[in-house]
Every structure is written in C-alpha cells, then in structure tokens.
Amino acid sequence: MATLFLMCGLPGAGKTTLAKQIESSHTALRLCPDEWIEPLLIDVTDFAELDRLRTPIELLQWEVAKKVLSLGVNVVLENGFWSRAERAMYRSQAEVLGARVKLIYLNVERDELWARLSKRNENLPPGTFAVREDQLDLWMSWFEPPTQEEIDL
C-alpha cells in the first residue's frame, strides 16, 4: 500500500529538507511546486506570475501523484497544506485510491522562520524564491495549523 506524505508548514519550516529525506528513505516520488514553477518564470521576482502558476502546477502534480499512488508508489507533496479543507481533500482522494496518508507538520516559530528565510534569501538554492518579511506575516495569518487529530490519522 502506497503512502502519501503531506508536508505541512510555512516557508522556511524545513519541508524540502525533510521531504528529500523521506524521498530517499521511503522510495517516494517527491513533488515540489516551486521546483516546477521556477523554470517557467522569465523573472523570478514576478510574484504575480509565480502566484498565477502555483495552482495549475499543484493541480498537475496532484494528477501525477494520484497515478503514482495507484501504482503503489509512495509520494511526497511539498505544497505546504495551509488549510484544513485542503488537507482533508487530499486525504480523502488518496484514501479512495487505497493509499495511506501521513501528515507531517513542521511547526516553527515566526522568528526562527524569518531567520531561516533571511539567510536563504541571501543565496537562493535552485527551485526556491525570495520571501519578504511582510509576505511571511501575511501567510502566517492565513495558515491553519493542523489539529492533533489530523496528525494522528
């Protein structure tokens, strides 16, 4: 039975680092939206275009993930999964395919997130984007931390 790993957390929480470890240790296909978006951008500072591409890329990756899960292969999704509704939708669709779902929540305090992002912004690794402090604060206001019940399912 395949497992869908949902990496839940804000930028700078360590989702990609842990997802790469899971990819290796669980022989999983890792799908990171930013890594697919970056090559499509002419200007990586064009946040409007970045935002426009996010939903179609995440939908495309989900279609790939569903096919892979149905083949019995583990998948790691790095979308961040900021809302309970989004997490529930992915969980229910994966379970219909017969896959297990593991929500991995990386809970990092705001000051630590900003410290990590500031450092990352100085030398952006491939497949990542600069994050401004005002963006982080806005996104934190949107983020719905998972309940213990979501994590334990």
Tell me what pLDDT residue 153 has.
Answer: 78
Residue 139's beta-bridge partner residues? none
Structural domains of the chain, with CATH: 3-152 (3.40.50.300)
pLDDT band at 56 (very low <50, low <70, confident <90, very high): very high
Cα–Cα dist 135/99, whole Å: 34
Q: Are 75 and 28 within 8 A, CB to CB?
A: yes
Tell me what pLDDT residue 45 has.
Answer: 84
Q: Are 24 and 76 within 8 A, CB to CB?
A: no
Q: What is the pLDDT of residues 69-126, one digit of tens each?
A: 999 999 999 999 999 999 999 999 999 999 999 999 999 999 999 999 999 999 998 8
Q: Rounded to two decimals, what is the model's pTM?
A: 0.94
Q: What is the pLDDT of residues 30-54, one digit of tens each?
A: 999 999 999 999 998 888 998 999 9
Q: Where are the alpha helices (DSSP H) in the chain?
A: 15-25, 33-37, 47-70, 84-96, 110-122, 133-142, 148-152
